[in-house]
Structure 1
Amino acid sequence: LSPAGTHPVAQYLGSVDGRYGAAFLDPPWRELFGRSEPPPTEPFNVVGRILAYVAGAGATHPLPVAEAMLTCKHKL
């Protein structure tokens, strides 16, 4: 599960996991997934970045798609 951009779940994960924050909360990553249209070419290896994070994780939890889907309502 890797929420993209400035999603509150991504911000929380970055605050509790420094490796997650370093891998997925840097400006190029946010810019890539903050666009309304995909770029003509991938500026960096997205799959490689995700695989490197998972490979370095101490534990992973496989979740069925229904369990992995989250709904987040922003507080005003």
Structure 2
Amino acid sequence: LPLWIAVGGTPQSVARAGALGLPVALAIIGGEPRRFAPLFDLYREAARRAGQDQAKLKTSINVHGFIADTTERAADQFYGP
């Protein structure tokens, strides 16, 4: 059974997942996803310090999104109501 650690973006939770060598799923509820890149760096560094195999680390993000044929159509559909 695959086990992932879901984190809300706190450095402590990300470092704990790395130290345990478990895959991490980072929830991004708002803001630019690139802003969270340092947390993945921290995850990898914590894993390295704990002696975890870097090749086995897995990461993912969970984000909200709205998709349409064009940006304008998505904005009209989403923001209209």
Please give the TM-score of this superposition, normalised by the length of structure 2: 0.29
Task: Flag the structure with larger Rg.
Answer: 2
TM-score norm. by structure 1 comes to 0.30
Higher relative contact order (Cα pairs below 8 Å, separated by 6+ residues): 2
